[in-house]
Structure formats: structure tokens, C-alpha cells
Amino acid sequence: MEASMVVPRLELLQVADAVAREKGIERDEVLEAMEQAIQKAGRSKYGHEHDIRAAIDRKTGDIRLARYRQVAELIENEFTQISPQDPRAKGLSTGEFLIEDLPPIDFGRIAAQTAKQVIVQKVREAERKRQYEEYKDRKSEIVNGLVKRVEFGNVTVDLGRAEAMLRRDELLPRETFRVGDRVRALIYDVREEQRGPQIFLSRTHPDFMAKLFAQEVPEIYDGIVEIRAVARDPGSRAKIAVVSNDSSIDPVGACVGMRGSRVQAVVGELQGEKIDIIPWSGDPATFVVNALAPAEVSKVVLDEDMHRMEVVVPDDQLSLAIGRRGQNVRLASILTGWDIDILTEAEESERRQEEFRTRSKMFVDALDVDDVIAHLLVTEGFGTIEEVAYVPVEELAKIEGFDEDVARELSERAQAFLSRQNEELEQRRRDMGVSDEMAQIPGLSPAMLVKLGDAGVKTLDDLADLASDELLEIVGSDTLEGEAANSIIMAARAHWFAAADEASSEAGEEAAR
């Protein structure tokens, strides 16, 4: 039954060394793959039901083939287990293995082919594992490679020790590569997938531009100048916000370089993408004004709750501020993180006049006053009847042309108007069938209750079923904030928890009996 191995012992180790060097993996991993291949061939010869294991001596290359059987009191599989009463298991405890050496096997053609497949598969798995371990921590790093294949616009890049994918949507517009071209790109993702680790590259990612500047500008590499934000319209235009940690160094000048040499190097790599380098500012209004360059800005109005900003520009600067197909304002919005509305001075003036007229008419109608008093109130910044009703009378009296009697009369008329309005809303609420329990929840005004009734929310359960964003949508986010909406919904759900506690208490008493 004995036969010699086809592969001489020392040559086996030499083959393992050669494969390990070529594939860049550990020698042990190659030898483990060979052991599994010999094991598989051994099971094919002696029977797959046996537990046959192979071991290759790491120094001499000797192959040991053996059958393993575990000592067990209860025999479930006679091929892999042996009873402690069996003479061959003498001296072995339960759980230990009886190891019986088998003669080395002669690899037949089919066995050799099977062994080769196992070795190739295991080497490939080890290679993939090495590739993933090497690249998993290299996200956001720029790499250089050679184009290996181009299929349907997707480019496969040879990085030397791995292959990476540069998908068509991660290429710059109108950018084409041919086999053998050099390519520089950013590793933006490394994922383990069924077909092995996949390395994904990008030339359109904002970080690609930031990393290119870090390569071209020593001050960025050294941390003196920081890139705080990047917004890109790949291949067309980009904005990059920079700040200096050293007051003696101009961050914009450092990025532009002598006669624009540094920024031109980045522009050249990005196929002529126009880059605006702007100074970052911690003040949102200043940052937005900088971001809208080269357009000039006359005025900025912030709405911090909505995270929105109104920017007023001279009439002749409108097209420059918006940019071709809205590109300039869109990039400025991405860069700053604020929603930006652009208005011309003429539009803003017209809108201000319209607001002035609307508010004046509201005061004339609600307070039964003439245009002069209404105009004075609007000019002083009053925008609602509530403000007139609840501001201290002394404050109202300070308005030029008012005395304390006029101020008191206005305050009383405003309070009377609000009282009548609330009575009307309260009646409408009852007519709609909105429950009294809902009306008792703190934070819900009569106007809100009417809006909820219009939306079909009429009971505590209806209100409790709402999410906070649904409540804000019904009553209007300008009248209620997110935290207040959550408090109202939790107050509406309180009776659910009370009922659950009562049921639990009753169950406990029943069990005690």
C-alpha cells in the first residue's frame, strides 16, 4: 500500500516559498493550503467518512498523513469515534484522539488536479485577505495606478499589489482612459464582498481635491493651513474654504502659489476644473458672503431656526451671484451648509414695501386705528397683534408721537381683539368636535386646535398617534418648535402609560390573591 510522493520533500518547501513570494502572502498560508489539498486527496482514497488530516513538516518538508478518531463513551459515528474499551484506545481519556498513521499517497492525475484547485483557491483567499488588510485603513488616500481594463466606461486600475475599480460615475465628465494610461484617484471605499475585497476609486469626490491640495501646498500638509469645506461640480467648477492657524500666513495665497502655480497643478489634474479659493469664517454671514464670490453682496438676513439665509445683491450682480444654471449659489450653499435665497435690491425693496402695507392693514383692521399709527407700529418693528398686546405699556409709550394714554389704549384694543379671536377659535374647535382633553394640553393654542381639527385630529388618541414632524406640518413650524412638538405628543400619550400602569397594578393584586 506504500508509495512515494510525486513531489520531493524539499522541493515542496521551495514551491511554497516561490508561491508565497509571488503572491505576497505568508509561506505558512501556502503550506496550509497544500495540507488541505493532500487531506482532500487522502479522503478521496480512504473514504470521505474518515477524519483524515495531513501535516507538512515546516523544516524538512516531510508529509504525515493520519486518521483521527476521538475517544467517546457513546459512539455516534464509528468512522470518527472509538470506544474507550477498544484495545487500540488504551491509555487515552475520553475526548482525546487516537492517531493512526497512513502511508503517503501517490497523487493520481485526478487527485493531483483536485489538489491544485484547492491550493489555487486557498492561495487566492489568502491573497484577498492580505489585500483587504492592506487597503482597509487606506480610505481617503490618493493612489496611482495603471489602467488594466476598460469595460462599459468602468476602469479597472492595477495598483501593483491589488486591483481597484474606478466606476464611470466617479470619473470626470468627458474623461476617457485607455489601457496602459496612468491614473491618479482617491480610495473612497474598501468593502469585503463575495467575490473578494473590492477597492473603489473616485476622481469626483470632494476629498480628492482636498488631498490634491495637500500634496501641492506644504502649509496644508504641515497643518498650518486647513481645508474646512469643499464643494464640487466635477470637471466644471469648485469652491474650497481654507483657514490659517498662523496669522502671518495668508491661507488663500498659500493655496494659489506663486503666479498660481499650486492651484494650476490641481486644475491640470482635474481637467481644467475652475477652483474658487475662499477664506473660511466662523461667522455664517461672512462665510456666505465669501462663498458667493465673485458676486458682491449688499445685505444678509439670517433665519437660524430654518438654517436659511436671504442674500441681497445689486441688480447688476444677480446673474453673477446665481451663476450659470444656478452653479455659483448651489456650490456656495453646499460649502456653507446654509440654504441661500438670492434677491436683488429692487426685489427686496418691493417685498419690504408689500410687508409694510400688509402689516399696516392688519393693525388698521384689528385695532381700529388710522394709517399713521399703523405705520408707526410697523416702522418700530411690530409684526403681530400679540406683540402690541403684551409688550409693556412703557415701551409702547416711547414710540415717537405716542404718549402713555395712546399706548394703554392700543394695548387694551390688542388684548380685546385677541380675546374675541380666541373665543371664535374656541367655538370653531367645539363645532369641529375637537375634544376638551386636547384643549387642556399645554402648548396648544386655539388656532393650533382648529388646524388640527381641519386635519381630522380630534381626540387624544389621534394626537398621540402623530409623529412630531407630522404635528409641525399641520400647525406650521413657524408657530411651534421641534422640542415643544415632542412635549405635546408625550402629554397626549400620558393616558396610555397611565392605563398600562393601572392594568399592571391590577394584575399584581390578582396574583397576590
The three state secondary structure string of 423-472 is HHHHHHHHHHCCCHHHHCCCCCCHHHHHHHHHCCCCCHHHHHCCCHHHHH
Instruction: Show Cβ contacts of residue 31 under 8 Å, excluding neighbours closer than 6 positions.
Output: 13, 16, 56, 58
> pTM to 2 decimals?
0.59
What phi and psi values does residue 50 have, to the nearest 5 degrees?
-85, 150
* Least reliable range by pLDDT among 80-89, 123-132, 203-212, 457-466: 123-132
- Alpha helices by DSSP H, listed for 175-260, are 206-216, 218-221, 251-256
Instruction: Report H helices in 257-384.
Output: 261-269, 284-291, 318-322, 327-336, 345-367, 371-379
> Stretch 58-66: mean pLDDT, rounded?
81
- pLDDT tens digits, 18-44: 777 776 667 787 788 778 878 887 887
How much is the pLDDT for 301?
Answer: 86
Distance from chain centroid for Cα 213: 24
**Is the pLDDT confidence value at 122 over 80?**
no
Q: Which of 335, 208, 220, 218 is nearest to 269 (CA)?
A: 208
pLDDT averaged over every residue in the chain: 82
Running DSSP on this structure, what letter comes out for residue 297? -
Band (10; pLDDT cuts 50, 70, 90): low
In the prediction, which pLDDT does 241 show? 93
Report how far apart the first and last C-alpha atoms of the chain are (Å, whole number). Answer: 81
CA-to-CA distance for 120 and 185, rounded, in angstroms?
31
Q: Counting Cβ atoms within 10 Å, is residue 150 exposed (0-12), middle (13-18) or buried (19+)? A: middle
C-alpha–C-alpha distance, residues 51 and 40, integer Å? 10
Q: Which three cell numbers stand for residue 149?
A: 481594463
214-242 burial, b at 16+ Cβ within 10 Å, e below that, comes to bebbebbeeebbebbbbbbbbbbbbbbbb
Structural domains in the chain, CATH included, are 9-132 (3.30.1480.10), 136-202 (2.40.50.140), 433-505 (1.10.150)
d(CA 93, CA 87): 13
% the chain with pLDDT above 90: 13
